[in-house]
Amino acid sequence: MREPVTTNGAYTADDAARALLRALRAAAEPPTLLLTPRDAAKALAISQKTLWTLTTPRGPIPAIRVGERSLRYSVVALARWIDAQPMATACACEANGDAEE
């Protein structure tokens, strides 16, 4: 990519126009609302098998059936599930009762 040409540290009108066009192109792309099981597992950093065990009716993560055989996961539902998970705040030494006082 070409570096912007500057005059006294300021961007030129051409540079500003190119930046605006890049921003408009990025905003025009529709957001991904549904993920495949592979993409959802990758986003959660877990295996597809673990995702399957966490999927309704076996677990708490809802899935949407598309057609007869395809499952998709809502990005919003995955975010809600992540928010509902307890955060690990204690270090391992505190969990074992070895906390320094």
Residues 21, 42: one domain?
A: no
Provide the pLDDT for residue 15: 79
Q: Compute the distance between CA of residue 15 and CA of residue 41 in angstroms, rounded to an integer.
A: 39
Beta carbons within 10 angstroms of residue 17's beta carbon? 11
- State the residue range of the domain holding 26: 1-30
Provide the pLDDT for residue 97: 61
Work out whether the CA dihedral 34, 39, 44, 47 comes out positive or negative. Answer: positive
- Per the model's pLDDT, the better-predicted residue between 27 and 2 turns out to be 27
**What would you measure as the largest C-alpha separation in the chain, in angstroms?**
63
Provide the pLDDT for residue 48: 95
- Per the model's pLDDT, the better-predicted residue between 4 and 73 turns out to be 73
The answer to whether residue 91 sits within a structural domain is no
The answer to whether residue 96 sits within a structural domain is no
Given phi > 0 = left and psi -120 to 50 = alpha, else beta, which region is 97? left
Q: Each residue of 27-71: pLDDT tens digit?
A: 777 777 899 999 999 999 999 999 999 999 999 999 999 999 899
List b or e across 22-45, with b for residues whose CB sees 16 or more CB atoms inside 10 angstroms. Answer: eeeeeeeeeeeebbebeebbebbe
Residues 39, 23: one domain?
A: no
pLDDT grade for 3, boundaries at 50, 70 and 90: low
The answer to whether residue 5 sits within a structural domain is yes
pTM of the model: 0.59
Residues 40, 10: one domain?
A: no
In total, how many domains does the chain have?
Answer: 2
Residues 40, 73: one domain?
A: yes
The answer to whether residue 39 sits within a structural domain is yes
